[in-house]
Amino acid sequence: MTTVTRLRAAGTAPTAPDSYGSPYQSYVYAYPHKTSYRRLPDRPALRSLWAAEPKDALSLYLHIPFCEVRCGFCNLFTRVGAPDGLTGAYLDALDRQAATVREALGDAGDVRFATAAFGGGTPTFLTAAELQRLCDTAEHRMGADLRAVPLSVEASPATATADRLEVLAARGTTRLSLGVQSFDDTEARAAVRPQRRADVEAALGRVREARIPVLNIDLIYGIDGQTDASWLRSLDAALAWRPEELYLYPLYVRPLTGLGRRAQGADPAWDEQRLRLYRLGRDHLLAHGYEQQSMRMFRRADAPPQGADDYACQTDGMIGLGCGARSYTAGLHYSFDYAVGMHEIRSIIDDYVARPAADFAHAEYGRRIDADESRRRHLLQSLLQAEGLDVAEYRARFGRPPQDDFGAELERFADRGWLDGTDTHTVLRLTPEGLAHSDAVGPALFSPAVRAAMAAYERK
């Protein structure tokens, strides 16, 4: 019985599909989004937040908020360049934070890290010696055995130098993600990402020489001037390196970014272009032996397993270090202040660098996660993956099937052909067209409270 049939049999009248608008509403890489976080007036102590949490399979994320350039589409928490001494001072603060957080986690025998990641920004903005310090903080302060767990690191072509890659490989990096975006120099300039294809190819050669087990290449579709033919050329240029993973991202134009001056509002022609290029890229990768893991992620069929995807960004038990990182307990998501504008980002980084160790013992910004939000997170993190949501697992965790909690939403997805109706008692899985519309499916599951908080957020 399909979801639609089940709901109708239960006496629920079919609901007409909502008007979802653009298929490109929001990339749901974490829920709730940071723009729904607010200052926590009680500043809860980390020791109390983590006291009752399972700590035997934690994820560790270290954030480096520096880049050599800021791409036109980027709204990440990062600044361009660093004055003399700032990266060293930042690593000093990161080490102080790590020591304080590790103490708050309690007995060392109870704490184990199952995955680790360095993100940003661009972690490889740091020098080779500074990357050694970063690894030392993860290992010696936090107790993460980087050679025994999956370790993912983000890099740019300009900073993927041989000495940096040598450090990362020696310290246990299992996955290197290279932000290429396009192999076409004209498209790279249109995305305000100044780079030459020759430099990209040289960087890819150095990554392969470093023998890091998994290479991921990020590509973007929907760039001004991009055509079907140029998109396929970029895909083929990436495939020539036989990357174990490929991420295909739709271009977004967000406020306060370099491309943010572009006219905002509905653009059906651009939506159609992005959908067409997405389908073209998806089919091209599937035909070349890649398996689709989500709307964005494709993995080579023979690639070594890497554990949780996307740094387990949706999973409880995340420890984030650095001024742009988030941490997740079952009942609270927390971080430092958030901004996109360069002036505000610099101010937050300066504040972070000046903090004494004791200042890191409390959560300052965040959002409480109640039972409803917990169910939404579980549904989101599962449904947006190609393998879908295990109904029995959901029932075991929450005491009832997801159809009881989200029947109306699932009905609307089914009516649009986005939900596979093969066996909804066992698994809820998006159809290929549903995966193509993941950036509309995800936001449709946001709670009214999160929507209101995001709408009320004052951009800075």
Q: What is the pLDDT of residues 301-360, one digit of tens each?
A: 999 876 554 434 446 799 999 999 999 999 999 999 988 788 888 999 999 999 999 999
Residues contacting residue 389 through CB under 8 Å, at least 6 positions apart: 378, 379, 382, 383, 402, 427, 428, 429
- CB under 8 Å, gap of 24 or more: what pairs does 183-188 form? 183/233, 183/234, 183/237, 183/238, 184/226, 184/230, 184/233, 184/234, 186/225, 187/223, 187/224, 187/225, 187/226, 187/230, 187/234
> Taking the mean position of all CA atoms in its chain, how far away is CA 413?
24
**Cα-to-chain-centroid distance, residue 227:** 27
d(CA 284, CA 307): 25
- Give residue 193's pLDDT: 79
pTM above 0.75, yes or no: yes
- Which pair of structure tokens corresponds to residue 440? 């509309």
Percent of the chain with pLDDT over 70: 89
DSSP 116: E
Strands (E), 136-283: 151-155, 175-181, 214-221, 245-250
- pLDDT exceeding 90 applies to what percent of the chain? 76
- What pLDDT sits at residue 274? 95
**What tens digit of pLDDT does each residue of 125-169 get?**
999 999 999 999 999 999 999 999 999 999 999 999 999 999 999
Measure the CA–CA gap between 400 and 371, rounded to whole angstroms.
Answer: 13
pLDDT score for 279: 98
Instruction: Give me 358's structure tokens.
Output: 């004791």
DSSP string, 364-410: -EEEE--HHHHHHHHHHHHHTBTT-EEHHHHHHHHSS-HHHHHHHHH
pLDDT above 50 for 297: yes
Counted residue by residue, the chain has a size of 460
- Indicate the fold that domain 46-312 takes in CATH: pyruvate-formate lyase- activating enzyme (3.80.30)
**H or E stretch covering 193:** none
The pLDDT assigned to 41 comes to: 96
Q: What's the confidence (pLDDT) of residue 265?
A: 62
Sequence-distant (6+) residues with CB within 8 A of 459 are: 255, 256, 340, 341
The tens digit of pLDDT for each residue in 278-294 reads 999 999 999 999 999 99
Q: Please, which pLDDT band fits residue 108 given cuts at 50, 70 and 90? A: confident
**Cα–Cα distance measured from residue 193 to residue 215, given in angstroms and rounded to the nearest whole number:** 21
What's the pLDDT score for residue 263?
52
The C-alpha atoms of residue 420 and residue 425 are separated, in whole angstroms, by: 11
The domain ranges of the chain are 3-31+370-455, 46-312
CB 454 within 8 A of CB 368: no
Across the chain, mean pLDDT equals 89
CB atoms within 10 A of CB 261: 10
Q: pLDDT: is 75 or 123 the higher one? A: 123
CA 129 to chain centre: 27
- Cα 390 to Cα 404: distance, rounded to the nearest angstrom: 15
Q: What is the reported pLDDT for 341?
A: 80
Second-level CATH architecture of 3-31+370-455: Orthogonal Bundle (1.10)
Mean pLDDT, to the nearest integer, of 225-242?
97
